[in-house]
Structures are given as C-alpha cells and as structure tokens.
Copies of this chain bind each other. A is one copy, B any other.
Amino acid sequence: MSQARLMEGTALARRTLETTAKRAAHLTERTGQAPCLATVLVGEDPASVTYVRMKRNRCRAAGIESRHVALPAATTTEELVGVLRTLSHDPAVHGILLQHPMGAHIDERAAFEAIAPEKDVDGVTFASFATMSFGLPGFVSCTPGGIMRLLDEYDVDPAGKRAVVVGRSAILGKPAGMLLLARDATVTYCHSRTRDLSAAVREADIVVAAVGRPRLIKGQDIKPGAVVVDAGYNAGNVGDVDFDSAAERASLITPVPGGVGPMTIATLLEQTVDAAARQTGDRGV
C-alpha cells in the first residue's frame, strides 16, 4: 500500500560518482597529480575497518588516490594530532578523513581540529560547522550534505517549509538543521528530551531522522504529503523511521538501505575533488 515515491540515493550516488570520476580524471590530466584522500584509522574496530575499506575502494574506482594511515589502538591524542598536522601540511594530500568514533582515550575534538579546514572533506571541524551554519563557502558534513543533494534531486525546496530534525549530533543532526536553515526552512531540533516527539514531527513538511533508534518514527507521526529522510542506520538494516507505515503518508521517502547512506561517500569523494581543485588552483574542474 506504499504511496510515497522513493528517493533513490543509490542511483543519485552513482551519477554523482560518475561526475566526480570525470572531474578527477580531468584534474589529474591538467595537474599531473591525482586528487588524494588520506584516511586515518586508529585501532582495528571491525566496522571502522570496513567503512575505511569501502571509502578507499570508491576512491580508487573514481580515480582518486587513497593514502591510508593505520595507527595502533594505543595511539595517544598527541600522536594522532601530530599525524593529522603532518597530513594537513603535505601538499600531495588534498583531503583528510579521520574515521570515527575512536577509542575513549582519544580527545576526538582535538584530533578533528588538527585537520586543516581546507582539507576537511568530511566536514568535522569547528570551521566547517560554522561555515555550514552561516551559509558560507566551505565543506559540509558528508551525510547532511548528501541529504541536501537528495532533496535537490527530487525538487524539494526547503524555503519556507517546516523542517524537523530528530537528533542533534555534531556531525549529523546539528549540521543537517543548519543546512536546512541556510536554505530558509523553519527548522526545529528534536531529541531525547523532547516531550511530545510525535506532535513535533507532525508539524514537519520535511522530516530528517538522525537519531539511531530503530523505527522510532511511525507513520502516524508523519503529516500527509511530508518528505521523509531517514538518516538512521540501525542493526538489521533498519532506519529510524518505520518505513512501511510512513510510506503510506509521505510524498517522498528514502529507503534504508539505499537512501541517505550511499550519498555520504559520494559527498566525501566530491568534496575531495573540490579540495584538490582549490589547492591546485584548477577552479575549472
């Protein structure tokens, strides 16, 4: 009985990666140097190892050089900061991705801030958060950036609409709300302390679920005709939205998997080529 149209992230990500690969090839030809993304991984958490491998494979497929720095789990914050500073100063590296979350002994924020803003293609630094928030040029956090691309692809203009972001993490909920605000949505942030979540979500023309709680948002919470973006990704390929019931009321909805997820890596690679173009002075790419 699903009525909503699917927002197909897999297909959009594929097209984005094709364009990115063309730009990377062009840039390599013009400058004699391929765009290069450095990935940094501390420890051997299996999920993190898998994510990094996926990102590196996608880089290579797109003609982006992938340089990997694997650090032992016992690496200190100071050592990690040193590695990130060195990469920040290395002219052969255009973008830096620090895989997170990291071990509890690492000061994650200190590590992020050691990434030069012009190489912060994952959009994790204070500077990137502020430029997103103020609508200034800069890199966006990859998942929120991917969400905005999906909305654009499906002709959803946030201006004047009520957008409700459920979740307020530093790299997902908060920047997603700020990007929607910069595009003139009336934005509400909901979270674990929100009293009547269903009532708040029912106000939304655009719902962004980004909280990591399986099927938290049900169809009855969705205003008929709303656009539903599910950035949740929980065990068993389940999103934060109860897909079946929500799809009966939404006009557009992202599937999980195959919605927001694939756009994250596509945005990362696109921003890596952007970074390389800026750093090599090749703005025509």
Contact (Cβ within 8 A) B133 A133: yes
Interface status of A187 (Cβ within 8 A of chain B): yes
A57-65, A189-197, A230-238 - interface stretch:
A189-197
A11-19, A74-82, A122-130, A147-155 - interface stretch:
A122-130
Tell me the count of chain A residues lying within 8 A, CB to CB, of chain B.
30
Copies of the chain in the assembly? 2
Known: A129-B130, A174-B133. A184 touches B188 (CB 8 A): no
A109 to B195, CA, bound (A): 37
Our pick among B126, B127, B161, B188 for the contact of A188 (Cβ within 8 Å) is B188
Closest chain B CB from A271 CB (angstroms): 18
Contact (Cβ within 8 A) A193 B184: yes
Contact (Cβ within 8 A) B134 A130: no
Interface of A is mostly: mixed
In this complex, what residue of B is CB-closest to A173? B181
Closest chain B CB from A182 CB (angstroms): 9
Q: Mark A66-105, 1 if CB is under 8 A from B, else 0.
A: 0000000000000000000000000000000000000000
Known: A126-B126, A129-B130, A174-B133. A186 touches B191 (CB 8 A): yes
Interface status of A200 (Cβ within 8 A of chain B): yes
In this complex, what residue of B is CB-closest to A136? B109
A187 to B160, CA, bound (A): 17
Contact (Cβ within 8 A) A194 B160: yes
In this complex, what residue of B is CB-closest to A177? B189
In this complex, what residue of B is CB-closest to A200? B186
